[in-house]
Structure 1
């Protein structure tokens, strides 16, 4: 089972789109995929038509329920999607209270690791969508993963946020005694705009091999796909966005 965490401490850079799209492409390849929503805003959950306010079980319950984290306990929290092999561990607003409730409690950084170990034989890939805040949830997502994807909008304010995220990864690497395999993914790239070209050039200059050598373009089909509650690879398989993420996945699978 491969576990990828999608994280950035800046919002609106394409984390959920990246998680959903890569998950959709993998599911189309008949891979068994679990998407985990750890953001209290529950954008990933809503993308698939899951009403977080109507849920009886969610990611929150994995953290707060007493007792051992068993396979049945984790599977009981999952929601199916339109794709037979794609499942979602959904989020609720209650996740926003975890740092206050559990932040100082011993062992809380490994809850997701234990949950994923319990279902390791059920899935081929797990993608974790993170909130834009360093706390219990992001720490869990970083501790559990094999690779980190850092989507970054190709504009200069987003690059400033990236500096903070990369510094966080340095700190967490030491804290967890774990080397992170991180790939920066330039998103929302518009080749017609000089500022976007300059931002992409700055990414490659500042972060070198850590930056993906291609980009995710601006594509209105992403918005249409989310309204249809369907990954763009299914909604518009010939779109620029679907092609770009397919290219990204091919590279990730060979790294």
Structure 2
């Protein structure tokens, strides 16, 4: 089971779009996929039309169990979508209270890792959509993944968010004892603007081979797909954004070979 965490300490860079786009493509390639939403804003949860408040359990209940998380709670917190082999562990607003309520408890950094051990036989890929804040949720997502995907909007201010993210990875690395594998993904690219061109060049100069050598363009089909609650590849399979994500996914899968 491959676990990818999609994270950046800046909002609005395309984390949820990247998560849903890759999940849809993986499912279409015959993979069993679980998307985990641990962002209190619950964008991924809403994307799939899930009303978390009416469910028996959500990601919050998994974290509330702390180091005593069990299989029953984990399985109960997973919702099937209308797409075969594509499931979601939804978020709810209560996740925003976790740091205050449980952040000082021991063992809270490995809750998600323990939970995933109960369902690893059910999935080929797990994609985790993370809030843009360093706290117990991000720590969990970074602790349990084998690769971090970092969407970075190709505009100057986004570079600051990336710098914070890189410092966080370095911090987690010290406690984890090993470096994260990560891929920086240029997003919201507009070849007509100087800002996009300059930012892409700076990304390549500063981070070298850690930057995927493609880019995800601005594509209105992503918004339309969201309105229809469909992964982009199921809504507009030949759109330029989907074709870019196809290339990205092939690149990421080759890294595991």
Name the TM tier (shorter chain).
over 0.9
The aligned counterpart of 1:103 is 103
The aligned counterpart of 1:116 is 116
C-alpha displacement of 1:178: 2.4
Separation of aligned partners in 1, 2:90 and 2:150: 21
C-alpha displacement of 1:69: 3.1
C-alpha displacement of 1:68: 4.1
The aligned counterpart of 1:47 is 47
- Runs of 4 or more, structure 1, over 4 Å off, are none
Q: CA deviation digits over 1:147-173, x for unaligned, max 9?
A: 000000000001111111111111111
1:31 paired with 2:7, answer no
Q: CA deviation digits over 1:179-233, x for unaligned, max 9?
A: 1001100000011111100110010011111111000000000000000000000
The answer (yes or no) to whether the contact 1:14–1:151 under 8 Å persists in 2 is yes
Separation of aligned partners in 2, 1:71 and 1:207: 40
The verdict on how the C-alpha distance between 1:54 and 1:5 changes in structure 2, with shifts beyond 3 A counting, is: same
The aligned counterpart of 1:126 is 126
The two structures have a TM-score, normalised by structure 1, of 0.98
The aligned counterpart of 1:87 is 87
Q: CA deviation digits over 1:8-43, x for unaligned, max 9?
A: 000000000000110010111121100000000100
1:199 paired with 2:213, answer no
The aligned counterpart of 1:219 is 219
Separation of aligned partners in 2, 1:176 and 1:32: 28
The verdict on how the C-alpha distance between 1:22 and 1:66 changes in structure 2, with shifts beyond 3 A counting, is: closer
The aligned counterpart of 1:65 is 65
Separation of aligned partners in 1, 2:45 and 2:28: 19
The two structures have a TM-score, normalised by structure 2, of 0.97
Separation of aligned partners in 2, 1:66 and 1:117: 14
Aligned residues: 255
Q: CA deviation digits over 1:118-149, x for unaligned, max 9?
A: 11101000000000000000000000000000
The answer (yes or no) to whether the contact 2:37–2:45 under 8 Å persists in 1 is yes
C-alpha displacement of 1:63: 1.2
The aligned counterpart of 1:163 is 163
The answer (yes or no) to whether the contact 2:67–2:107 under 8 Å persists in 1 is no
Q: CA deviation digits over 1:31-83, x for unaligned, max 9?
A: 11000000001000000001223233100000113784333321111111121
Moved more, 222-231 or 45-54: 45-54
The answer (yes or no) to whether the contact 2:186–2:214 under 8 Å persists in 1 is yes
The aligned counterpart of 2:143 is 143
Give SS of 1:248's match. helix
The answer (yes or no) to whether the contact 1:69–1:118 under 8 Å persists in 2 is no
